[in-house]
Homo-oligomer: A and B are copies of this chain.
């Protein structure tokens, strides 16, 4: 995640606590006291005191080598988030059925700001290795699930994305006009494809998961090697799984 906390880090203690926690991200999961002080822009002694309280509450824990990690209590709190309980847990059985049927990476993502956020990924030994994991933000314009989410996003967000399309691979679509056509095709076809636009040698296909009001609440996708050129044949299975998830999410909320 971006250092958004730097934006809100002010003189308040709560903001400082959050700045300390924001020091951790996808590529920084083990940090020393000095690391955290630097990244949160707080004095050493302040950082030390705040970490002591976070450690006491098990929001972080300190390994024998002195490095801090996110603690079990934050993990547990995280499991209470709607994205985990009302989406991920409900979606897991259908995702597994899809994995068994296809033996490929099965991905579930939601819109988060101007990124796609992986909620879950199921893969096996034979699946193409993909550098993704739950919690990780990914570009909307370069991934299958991202294109689905973007195609059904509010116009304001679409404009914001289209105004700063960046190349991830040489195949990534960065021309605004071409991306508009691509998103129109996604809406028309009811699925999105990505060919080596995010990762060389990798292709993806994704479909929307709707809520009862017809809004897109997530995207479900498959990620494969480009050798499998016939990805469109997976669309019916993806749609069945997406419909199952859709229905179960609605029941879950009502229950």
Contacts and interface: CB of A to CB of B under 8 A. Distances in A.
Nearest to A53: B14
A5 B74 CA distance: 13
Nearest to A50: B14
A1 interface: yes
A40 to B, nearest CB: 13
A75 B21 CA distance: 12
Nearest to A71: B81
A134 to B, nearest CB: 5
B125 A80 contact: no
A84 interface: yes
A234 to B, nearest CB: 19
Interface in A83-120: 83-85, 89, 92-93, 96-97, 99-100, 112, 117
A2 B39 CA distance: 32
Nearest to A29: B80
Contacts of A5: 57
Contact of A78 (B4, B74, B122): B74
Main SS of chain A's interface residues?
A: helix
A181 interface: no
Given A12-B53, A57-B4, A57-B8, A70 B80 contact: yes
Question: Looking at chain A, what size class is its interface with the partner chain?
Answer: 35 or more
A132 to B, nearest CB: 11
Contact of A18 (B12, B59, B78, B124): B59
Interface of A: 1, 4-5, 8, 12-15, 17-18, 21-22, 24-26, 29, 50, 53-54, 56-59, 69-85, 89, 92-93, 96-97, 99-100, 112, 117, 122-125, 133-136
Given A70-B82, A72-B117, A78-B78, 13 more contacts: A15-B57, A18-B54, A18-B59, A26-B80, A70-B77, A74-B74, A74-B78, A75-B78, A75-B84, A75-B135, A78-B79, A84-B134, A93-B124
